[in-house]
């Protein structure tokens, strides 16, 4: 059974962190890249936003498909599964799914994480995850 309150709480947290991330979108690349605190905050906010979305995806998938159906093998696939379920539009699901790999790069501390990629991800996240939250809230309102 879909836990609407759990999903709403996670979406509210994503939206709160998007507001926090917005502050860094007005900073220049040099400001963010050269200030280790700002750079660390941006990475943490991106990781939290993407991670919460993956949690939402996994909850919806596991509760909608039943115990006998395996969850997607990786986080990227959770976004694609929501497209298959008619929750996210196809092109949007394919685009936002790429953020799962970016999250993994942050979480696992892959060497040489491109600071320009991190900086560009601010705008991508603000756009994509605002849309994602709207899509999920619309879906929640249709669930009985």
Query: What percent of the chain is modeled with pLDDT above 70?
Result: 92
Higher pLDDT, 79 or 106: 79
Q: Residue 117 — pLDDT band, cuts 50, 70, 90?
A: confident
Closest CA relative to residue 121, chosen from 29, 16, 14, 15:
29
What is the domain partition of the chain in residue ranges? 4-142
Q: How far apart are CA 10 and CA 4, in angstroms?
A: 10
For residue range 67-96, what is the model confidence (pLDDT) as tens digits?
A: 555 566 689 999 999 999 999 999 999 999
Options 1.20.120.580, 3.40.50.720, 1.10.240.10, 1.10.286.10; CATH for 4-142 is 1.20.120.580
Percentage of the chain lying above the pLDDT 90 cut: 73
Dihedral sign of CA atoms 123, 125, 126, 131 in order: positive
Residue 116 pLDDT:
86
pLDDT of residue 104: 72
Return the pLDDT at 31.
94
Spatial distance between the Cα atoms of 25 and 32, rounded to a whole number of angstroms: 9
Q: What is the pLDDT of residue 107?
A: 74
């Amino acid at each position: 059974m879909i836990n609407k309150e759990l999903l709403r709480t996670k979406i509210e947290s994503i939206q709160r962190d998007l507001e926090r991330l917005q502050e860094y979108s007005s900073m220049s690349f040099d400001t963010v890249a050269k200030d280790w605190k700002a750079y660390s905050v941006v990475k943490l906010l991106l990781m939290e936003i993407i991670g919460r979305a993956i949690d939402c995806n996994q909850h919806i998938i596991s509760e909608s498909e039943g115990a006998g159906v395996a969850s997607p093998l990786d986080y990227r696939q959770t976004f694609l599964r929501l497209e298959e379920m008619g929750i996210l539009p196809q092109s949007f699901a394919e685009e936002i799914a790429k953020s799962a790999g970016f999250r993994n790069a942050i979480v696992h501390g892959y060497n040489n994480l491109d600071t320009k990629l991190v900086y560009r991800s601010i705008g991508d996240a603000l756009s994509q995850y605002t849309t994602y939250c709207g899509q999920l809230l619309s879906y929640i309102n249709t669930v009985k």
